[in-house]
Amino acid sequence: MLERRGQAAAAAAAAAAAPDAVARAKSPLGWAVLVAGVIALLVANLSIGAFDVTPGTIIDVLLFKLGLAARGDFTLAEESVISVIRLPRTLMAAAVGAGLGIAGAALQGLFRNPLAEPSLIGVSSGAAFAAALVLVLGISGAFALPLGAFVGGLLVSVLIYAFARRGGGRTQMATMLMTGIAINAALGSAISFLVFLADDAALRDIAFWLLGSLSGSVWRLVVVCAPLILFAALVLTRYGGALNLLSLGDAEARHMGVRVERAQFVIVAAAALATGAGVAVAGIVGFVGLAAPHIVRLVVGPDHRRLLPASALAGAMLVLGADLLARTVVEPSEMPVGVVTAVFGTPIFLLLIDRSRRRLEQSDW
Amino acid sequence: MNDAPPPALRTESVGFSTEGKQLLRDVSLAVHGGQLVAIVGPNGAGKTTLLRLLAGDIQPADGRIYLDERPLSDYTPRELARRRAVMPQSSHLPFLFTAREVVRMGRAPWEGERGEREHGAQLAEHVMGLTATREYAPRAYPTLSGGEQSRVTLARVLAQETPILVVDEPTAHLDPRHQHLVLELLHELASEGAAIVAVLHDLNLAAAYADRVAVLHRGELVCCDAPHTALDPDVLRPVFGLDFISQPHPDGDRPVLIPLPRRALAEPTSPHTGADM
Chain A contact probe: residue of B96, B134, B143, B148 with most A CBs at under 10 A: B96
Among B70, B46, B68, which residue's Cα sits nearest to residue B58? B46
The two counts, helices (H) then strands (E), for chain B are 9, 13
Helices (H), chain B: 47-55, 77-83, 99-105, 116-130, 146-159, 176-191, 203-209, 227-230, 233-240
Q: Which of B:177-236 have CB within 8 Å of A?
A: none
Chain B contact probe: residue of A2, A255, A357, A362 with most B CBs at under 10 A: A255
pLDDT of residue A361: 53
Q: How many residues does chain A have?
A: 365
How would you list the strands of the sheet with B212-217, edge to edge?
B84-87, B164-168, B195-199, B36-40, B212-217, B220-225
pLDDT of residue A358: 63
Which residues fall within 8 angstroms of residue A203, CB to CB, at 6 or more apart?
Answer: A195
Number of domains comprising chain A: 1
Which residues fall within 8 angstroms of residue B109, CB to CB, at 6 or more apart?
Answer: A256, A257, B78, B81, B82, B160
Which residue in the set A241, A252, A254 is minimally distant from B91, CB to CB? Answer: A252
State the DSSP code for A220. Answer: H
Check if B260 contacts A (Cβ < 8 Å). no
Per residue of chain B (277 residues), give pLDDT as tens. 455 689 999 999 999 998 888 999 999 999 999 999 999 999 989 999 999 999 999 999 999 999 999 999 999 999 999 999 999 987 888 889 999 999 999 999 999 899 999 999 999 999 999 999 999 999 999 999 999 999 999 999 999 999 999 999 999 889 999 999 999 999 999 999 999 999 999 999 999 999 999 999 999 999 999 999 999 999 999 999 999 999 998 888 899 999 987 755 555 554 444 444 3
Interaxial angle between packed helices B176-191 and B146-159, expressed in degrees from 0 to 180 and rounded to the nearest 10: 10
Interaxial angle between packed helices A123-137 and A200-211, expressed in degrees from 0 to 180 and rounded to the nearest 10: 160
Question: Using CA atoms, how far apart are residues A352 and B47, in angstroms rounded to an integer?
Answer: 43
Is the pLDDT confidence value at A197 over 50?
yes
Radius of gyration of chain B (CA): 19
What is the ipTM score, two decimals? Answer: 0.90
State the DSSP code for B25. Answer: E
Q: Containing domain of residue A319, as a range?
A: 2-364
Chain B contact probe: residue of A115, A248, A254, A294 with most B CBs at under 10 A: A248
The two counts, helices (H) then strands (E), for chain A are 16, 0
Which residues fall within 8 angstroms of residue A363, CB to CB, at 6 or more apart?
Answer: B140, B143
Task: Please list every residue in chain A whose beta carbon sits closer than 8 Å to the beta carbon of residue B106.
Answer: 256
Q: Give the Å distances, CA to CA, from A301 to A14, A105, A345, B104.
A: 10, 12, 20, 15
What CATH number is associated with residue A98? 1.10.3470.10
Interaxial angle between packed helices A304-328 and A219-237, expressed in degrees from 0 to 180 and rounded to the nearest 10: 160
What pTM does this model have? 0.87
Check if B95 contacts A (Cβ < 8 Å). yes
User: For A287-309, what is each residue's pLDDT tens digit?
Assistant: 899 889 988 888 888 999 999 99
Helix (H, G, I), strand (E, B) or coil at A191: helix
